[in-house]
Amino acid sequence: MAPNVLSASRLLVAMAALCVAAVGIALVSQHVFDMQPCPWCILQRIIYLAIAALCLIGAAVSAVMLRRGIGVLTLLLALSGGASALYQELVASKSDSCNLTFADKVISSLGLDGAFPPLLQVTANCSDAAVLLLGVSYAYWSLALFIVMAAASLGVVLRAR
């Protein structure tokens, strides 16, 4: 039983580190390379940070049911993040305005854009924010990481026994 708990803890810490790294890369892209974020970009940052926070909580506890519950929550967040990345790439990036979209409404209702402007403030519309990193859209990079997070979340659920 102890090896599974350790494995789940390490997996949760690795997930948190990847999510924080993704947000860090986004911040460097924004503040160093002037790649400004749209509402869908910011929504994905919020989801990454939520996953990281849950993962750190999960790594700190040893209760199997709580850890499993956190695995399920991170899975749901990863799936919603993947859906938002796909929507950003396939729909939002093709429109001139993403004002008052679902992402914009979530960010505004949470009030996080005003609370943490350098991290969570929308500064571009969706079509302007459609940029490439190594020839691949940022949204697809984000989708790939959300898929990794979903798979890792399943691993947490299965290892938390």
DSSP-assigned letters across all residues of 101-121: SHHHHHHHHHTHHHHSHHHH-
What's the confidence (pLDDT) of residue 93? Answer: 84
Q: What is the pLDDT of residues 79-108, one digit of tens each?
A: 999 999 999 999 988 877 776 788 888 888
**pLDDT of 5 higher than 60:** no
- Measure Cα distances from 126 to 41, 96, 135, 140 in Å: 9, 7, 18, 14
| Residue pLDDT, tens place only, 33-84 | 888 888 999 999 999 999 999 999 999 998 999 999 999 999 999 999 999 9
Q: What pLDDT was estimated at residue 18? A: 98
Indicate which CATH number applies to the domain containing 10: 1.20.1550.10
Name the DSSP class of 83.
H
Determine whether 53 is exposed, middle or buried from the number of CB atoms within 10 Å of its CB (0-12, 13-18, 19+): middle
Residue range(s) defining the domain that contains residue 99: 2-159
Q: Which helix (H) or strand (E) holds 147?
A: helix 138-159
pLDDT at 6: 54
Task: Count the domains in the chain.
Answer: 1
Q: Average pLDDT for residues 113-135, to the nearest whole number?
A: 80
